[in-house]
Amino acid sequence: MSGISGTIGTAVAVFAGTNVDDIIVLTVLFLAGRATGRPRPWHVVAGQYAGIAALVAVSAVAALGLAVVPDQWVGLLGLVPLGLGVRGLVAVLRDGGAGEDGPPVVAGGVLAVAGVTVANGADNISVYTPLFRTIGPAGSLVTAAVFVVLVGVWCAAGAWLGSHEKVIRVVERHGHWLVPVVFVVIGTVIVLESGVVGRLAGLV
């Protein structure tokens, strides 16, 4: 029993430590959904589950010694939120920057939300892989079950943070710039912190 408790405690700590920034992404998505109708709440939840499931699956495979995506190129996934944010900014500029209809739809479906989740959590693979390799199949299953529960908790927290009337009014007023800018910043940080730009420059 103590072994299971220890595994659960480790899983909670690892998930919380590697997904703190996801709270921001989820809050922005729920706020955008409330202001524009897209993405819908179930899109956000399903996309978050799909994204985390993909990260866990890749980590599990990597734990078996198979390299799915070379670590040095994982940062390229940051181009997903960066591209979505740029597309949103282009839509705002085409609209004249007025934003009468609230923020543009940056991530309007399950796949887009999942893509942002995977990109934002790409570095999680480097944490999950050695963890799964160390705790073995049984511990990995317990950890995955804990992750399932915590994804729901994260989504609930994001929905709660994105449900305040004052915040919603601010997003309705300024979200046409705020939402895509947040995605551009997230994508840029992922790309720059991964060092992938330097590697690409070295190939030229």
Q: For 143-180, how does the pLDDT look when each residue is reduced to its tens digit (9 = 90+)?
A: 999 999 999 999 999 999 878 767 666 666 665 677 67
The most distant pair of C-alpha atoms in the chain lies apart, rounded to whole Å, by 61
Selected residue with higher pLDDT from 128 and 181: 128
Locus of tokens 């890749």 = 58
Instruction: Report the share of the chain in percent with pLDDT over 70.
Output: 73
Instruction: Indicate if the alpha-carbon torsion angle 16, 21, 24, 27 is positive or negative.
Output: negative
Whether the pLDDT of residue 53 is over 70: the answer is yes
- Where are the domains positioned within the chain? 2-199
Backbone angles phi, psi at 126, to 5 degrees: -70, -20
Q: What is the pTM of this model?
A: 0.70
Q: Which DSSP category does 107 fall into?
A: S
Burial of 106 (0-12, 13-18, 19+ CB in 10 A): buried
